[in-house]
Chains A and B, each alone.
Chain A
Amino acid sequence: MPERGEGTIVERPLRLDYDYTAGLAQSRFLKGIAQKKILGERCPKCGKVYVGSRGSCPTDGVATDGGEVDLPHKGTLTTFCVVNVPFAGQSVECPYASGYILLDGADIPLMGLIQEIPHDQVRMGLRVEAVWEDEVGPTLQSIKYWKPTGEPDADYETYKMHL
């Protein structure tokens, strides 16, 4: 028996496993990635193009069946974070820059790593392009990282609605 004032610690290991269903729209997106294509889907109501669509326009609540858009692999860094603090399950060594890339013609950004540029030069409006892995599959890890294109920075006005 524990002495007065002491607690008893019960170890209770717990694990739940799931079969994840990507869904119809995300499956189309991931199959595109496996062919080195970044496919967007348009909302038939508001016209916005979703990349990595979950099947519906979250604003209008309708299926994103207004047309598939084969997007360029180039876009604008709208916002970013330089990660200096390690955390459990981290797959990249610190420090690294992670950011939101708004592809040209898309209305929602993709998340990715920003490399081939010193961290203190990463900035909003930076123009970037995808660097693909040699072997690609139905996973966003097929895009290794995003690197600067060398183009002049995008004007804030062009992406302020997507922050």
Chain B
Amino acid sequence: MVLRATGKAGSPFAAVLGRRPVRTISASGAAAYLGEAMRDVAIVATAQSPALRKEERRNEVEILMPVIHELRENAKLDQDDIGFTVSGSCDYLQGQPFAFVTALDAIGPWPPIDESHVEMDGAWALYEAWVRLQHGDIDTALVYSFGKSSPGDIRRILTLQLDPYYLVPMWPDPVALAALQARALLESDGVSEKDMAEVVARSRKHAKDNPNAQLKGDVDVDQLLNEPMYLSPLRKHDCPPITDGAAAVILAAGDKAREITDRPAWIRGIDHRIEPHSLGVRDLTDSPSTRKAGEVAGVGSGKVDVAELYAPFSHQEIILRRALGLGDGVNVNPSGGALAANAVMVAGLLRVIEAAQRIMDGSADRAVAHATSGPALQQNLVAVLEGE
């Protein structure tokens, strides 16, 4: 039998309880509150699988393994060199309890490794790794995420994250909730269906340069507007594709990061905020949790070259841009974003990866990465990345 050091964390701190406390950090907004006291942490290597509509032959471990191998090769690190390993995934996608534990078969956790998991998008696993690195006793962390949305009915699965008494019995799935949100936005102010179609056209166009994207190509805005309604006011192209995929990153602190790569993507600020679970008490046309996270992460304190926003539905990109105060000069979703590929549980981490890649290759100096979780943009994470 293989022994595994496995922890499951609901909050980032469940994983670090019991270890020696180096600093006291608040769960959110640590960067803003502690300022200079925080350790510099950077993304130093990334890897991702191609986004596919359906991985018909490979299981999750077989998808993940080559991604992990490529990642460690990019950073020239063995698993023995990694101080902390953490994953973000959801067992409901696979329909198998403890699927997140079997995923460790792709890592090689022997001798036993220091390891944790969040039942969330990989972006929140990255947050836990960042917090863990603040403890100062380790210098590297590996974050991975995987998700096959194709085996089950992803719309039904995601419905189960709603309040079980009043909402789930009506089965309002993510597309229905997004349609309600889009309708509220269209009726609230100057946003039009054309604005939504423009988001789609730009996303598909950008995705042409992304070898891993699923939906790409030149589409005409007027042509998009002639498409039939799918769930009014959403047309099919306003919704994300169903995607299987995996992604992973390595984080390193201080000089270790400079040792691994010439141009690390430094995490200058990172924060996540959540809104109430009940949809009825939220203003769906706004995203106050994104705004707050963006403020704490420091989005507005410098020029933003690139922003990767996890907006699974076209109108949500408009809400997020406003909440983060991103002007026309910002290159939004150069990867094509979630409208081009949306592996649930992976897509948020992918936004961080795509933003970091542009810092690491020198094409951007300052980038914003955003991830979302929960129904209709309930929970949001924002990170600011910079080159040196």
Contact = CB atoms under 8 A, between A and B. Distances in A.
The answer to whether A and B interact is: yes
A56 B57 contact: no
A51 to B, nearest CB: 15
Contacts of A60: 108, 110
B151 A20 contact: yes
Contacts of B62: 23-25, 54-56, 63
A63 B55 CA distance: 18
Contact of A23 (B61, B109, B153, B169): B61
Contact of A19 (B106, B151, B157): B151
Contacts of B65: 55-56, 61-63
Interface string B83-99: 00000000010110000
B367 to A, nearest CB: 31
A16 B107 contact: no
A69 B65 CA distance: 22
A43 to B, nearest CB: 10
Nearest to A62: B108
Contacts of A14: 160, 168
Nearest to A56: B105
A26 interface: yes
A86 to B, nearest CB: 22
A57 B68 CA distance: 14
Contact of A61 (B109, B156, B157): B109
Of listed A22, A23, A58, residue having the most chain B CB within 10 A:
A58
Contacts of A21: 55-59, 148, 151
Contacts of B156: 16
Q: Give the contact-size bracket for chain A.
A: 20 to 34
A12 interface: yes
A24 B105 contact: no
Interface in B64-121: 65, 68-69, 79, 92, 94-95, 102, 104-110
A20 B92 CA distance: 13
Interface in A44-91: 54-63
Given A54-B105, A61-B106, A62-B108, A18 B151 contact: yes
B153 A10 contact: no
A27 B165 CA distance: 41
Contacts of B169: 10, 12
Contacts of B58: 21, 23-24, 55
A24 B57 contact: yes
A58 B152 CA distance: 26
Contacts of A26: 59
A95 B75 CA distance: 55
A56 B153 contact: no
A120 interface: no
B59 A18 contact: no
A17 interface: yes
B164 interface: yes
A138 to B, nearest CB: 15
A10 B57 CA distance: 40
Nearest to B62: A55
Of listed A18, A22, A23, A54, residue having the most chain B CB within 10 A:
A18
A2 to B, nearest CB: 15
Contacts of B79: 61
B212 interface: no
Contacts of A63: 62, 65
Contacts of A163: 1
A14 B169 CA distance: 9
B202 to A, nearest CB: 33
A16 B151 CA distance: 10
Given A55-B61, A62-B108, 4 more contacts: A21-B151, A60-B110, A61-B107, A61-B109
Interface of B: 1-2, 55-59, 61-62, 65, 68-69, 79, 92, 94-95, 102, 104-110, 148, 150-153, 156-157, 160, 164-165, 168-169
12 contacts: A12-B164, A12-B169, A18-B152, A19-B152, A20-B95, A20-B151, A21-B148, A26-B59, A54-B62, A55-B105, A56-B61, A62-B108
